[in-house]
Amino acid sequence: MADIFEATRPDDYLMRLAASDLGRGYKAMVTAELALADGHTVVDVGCGPGADLPAFSAAVGADGLVVGIDRDLEAVEAARELVAEARNVTVRTGDAHELDLDTGSADRAHTDRVLQHVADPDRAVDEIARVLRPGGRAVLAEPDWGTLAIDGPDRATTHAYQAYVVEEVVRNAWTGRRLPALAQRSGLSVRRIVPVTAVFQDVGEADAVLGLGRVARRARDAGHLDPDAYERWVAHLTTAPFFASVTLFVV
């Protein structure tokens, strides 16, 4: 089990996910949905270590501008290092709830797995709508952890694990299904909704993305999983044919 499950979330988790087949696939689709063009100003809210900034930089050209914003100083420094050679990219610290940008100053806006963590998703989407110019476009990508499906040895333990993820681990676990309403309430028109379902048949690959092992240990230690049931559940995941899936929605 120690060889399969990661003990802690690695520091390079976001970049590793972006470089995976899953990450490359949906991020390419998101970039296409943004419909970036020469001269555009695009804002990446919650840019993290900058995984999406190089593609945005190339798409908007020398006359465009890419603004990456994140509240985490270490992530901002990593993003700045990643795009140090790109003259059309600026990365700054900032709060998604109060963007330091003029109203109507951006042609495009983007978030990827950010709104699930913020204190107030409604306010964050309001800010995205505010900074977009008339006719601008936002593309928002968020998982819905209520769609998490795992084939375990019994329903009760799997349900308890799923409930722990939704109720305790992820602040806004149902953000994926809420995205269309969030956008419409903020005055945006929803033109397209694309579900992206990640399917895993390898437990190690699933653990690298979903953190199965470390989350299960937390659930056991917090009393959400019975210790004996936890042992049976983990044994099943690591020895039986494996299946798990979760759906991310791109709006």
pLDDT exceeds cutoff 60 at 2: no
pLDDT-based confidence at 102, cuts 50/70/90? Answer: very high
H or E element in which residue 138 lies: strand 132-150
The yes-or-no verdict on residue 15 having pLDDT over 80 is no
Paired sense of beta strands 244-250 and 132-150, if any? antiparallel
Q: Residue written as tokens 């999983």?
A: 225
If phi > 0 it is left, if psi is from -120 to 50 it is alpha, else beta; for residue 223 that is left
Q: What are the pLDDT digits (tens) for 165-203?
A: 999 999 999 999 999 999 999 999 999 999 999 999 999
Average pLDDT, the chain: 93
CA atoms within 13 A on the CB side of 151: 13
Residue pLDDT, tens place only, 117-138: 999 999 999 999 999 999 999 9
Alpha helices in the chain, H assignment, sequence order: 13-19, 21-34, 53-60, 73-82, 121-131, 155-164, 175-185, 203-210, 212-221, 227-239
